[in-house]
């Protein structure tokens, strides 16, 4: 896989690129990597997809971060290096928190938000914080987390695959992710988000129950909520076709881009835009 701004990423691109369609960046959750996204999502037809491995996750080197803001800045650096002026940001759980943070801090970077199993705050059980960072209790903690990420009728093979992916994350990185989630709370700022949002939640989500998605819908003016049957927290893993279809419909609803904008950094870290002629975006491959 290629890398940009220290982040390894998977990229998928339609054979015939429609430059007016927005690129899509997939952001995994705590302890995950780009393989957290099933092929139906990371290879959506006719879309330009980037599925990143956050620092310390998957094939990305280095250490994980301990705050959502730090992770958001890593994704921003990734976008700048690949000259992605703006994108649809799709995140699951912690990835949703990162997408929300980017939409608040850098609204011009977010053309749309796909928020899966997400919330405006992500409190973590103290028992998990006490066990997930300890090598002696790490596997026990992962078992507990994994079991709570799926619905009651999940096939054992999917549970095992998910567990193996989580176990591949180093204990300190997993703990840092959960510390970042535990400190995250944008509830009072949801009204500032003007970016259109697609909110997807599994009906049997135990990690961030449906009420958290309803809070997002009530707080973000231009948003829609879809509660998916027979799915838990990792809704895209259990119902990949349905999630891919919902995301596809959402991306289709975003107005086509007609002009590229040259960006310069303003003193507050946001970007000012100057219209220019459209040019081909970086493909990341």
pLDDT tens sequence across 23-81: 999 999 999 999 999 999 999 988 999 999 999 999 999 999 999 999 999 999 999 99
pTM, full prediction: 0.89
Where helices occur in 82-168 by DSSP H, the ranges are 94-105, 126-131, 138-147, 156-167
130, two tokens? 């006490």
Query: What's the confidence (pLDDT) of residue 258?
Result: 64
The residues near 40 (Cβ < 8 Å, ≥ 6 apart) are: 240, 241, 243, 244
Domain range 3-276, its CATH number among 1.20.140.10, 3.40.50.1820, 3.40.50.720, 3.40.50.1970: 3.40.50.1820
The more confidently predicted of residues 278 and 92 is 92
278, two tokens? 């459209």
pLDDT tens sequence across 223-250: 999 999 999 999 999 999 999 999 999 9
Given a cut of 80, whether residue 119 has pLDDT beyond it is yes
Beta strands per DSSP E along the chain: 3-4, 7-12, 24-27, 49-52, 87-92, 110-116, 197-202, 223-228, 260-265, 271-276
Measured N-to-C along each axis, helices 171-183 and 138-147 cross at an angle, to the nearest 10 degrees, of: 50
Query: For 70-86, b where at least 16 C-beta lie within 10 A, e where not — what string?
Result: bbbbbbbebbbebebbb
User: What is the Cα–Cα distance from 110 to 102, expressed in whole angstroms?
Assistant: 7
pLDDT tens sequence across 148-167: 999 999 999 999 999 999 99
Q: Strand, coil or helix: what is 4?
A: strand
Query: What's the confidence (pLDDT) of residue 164?
Result: 96
Are 100 and 115 in contact by the 8 Å Cβ rule? The answer is yes
């Amino acid at each position: 896989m290629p890398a940009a701004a220290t982040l390894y990423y998977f990229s998928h691109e339609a054979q015939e690129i429609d430059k007016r369609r927005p690129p899509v960046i997939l952001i995994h959750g705590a302890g995950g990597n780009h393989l957290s996204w099933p092929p139906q999502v990371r290879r959506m037809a006719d879309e330009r997809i980037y599925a990143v491995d956050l620092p310390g996750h998957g094939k990305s080197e280095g250490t994980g971060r301990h705050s959502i803001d730090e992770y958001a800045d890593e994704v921003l650096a990734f976008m700048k290096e690949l000259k992605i002026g703006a994108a649809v940001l799709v995140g699951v759980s912690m990835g949703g928190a990162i997408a929300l943070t980017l939409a608040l801090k850098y609204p011009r970077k977010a053309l749309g938000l796909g928020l899966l199993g997400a919330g405006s705050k992500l409190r973590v059980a103290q028992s998990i914080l006490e066990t997930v960072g300890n090598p002696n209790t790490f596997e026990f903690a992962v078992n507990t987390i994994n079991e709570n990420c799926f619905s009651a009728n999940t096939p054992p093979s999917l549970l095992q695959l998910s567990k193996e992916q989580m176990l591949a994350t180093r204990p300190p990185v997993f703990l840092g992710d959960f510390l970042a989630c535990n400190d995250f709370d944008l509830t009072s700022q949801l009204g500032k988000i003007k970016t259109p949002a697609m909110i997807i939640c599994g009906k049997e989500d135990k990690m961030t129950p449906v009420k958290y998605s309803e809070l997002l819908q009530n707080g973000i003016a231009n948003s829609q909520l879809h509660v998916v049957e027979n799915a838990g927290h990792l809704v895209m893993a259990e119902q990949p076709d349905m999630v891919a279809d919902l995301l596809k419909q959402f991306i289709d609803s975003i107005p086509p881009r007609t002009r590229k904008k040259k960006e310069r950094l303003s003193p507050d870290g946001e970007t000012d835009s100057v219209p220019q002629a459209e040019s081909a975006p970086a493909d990341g491959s």
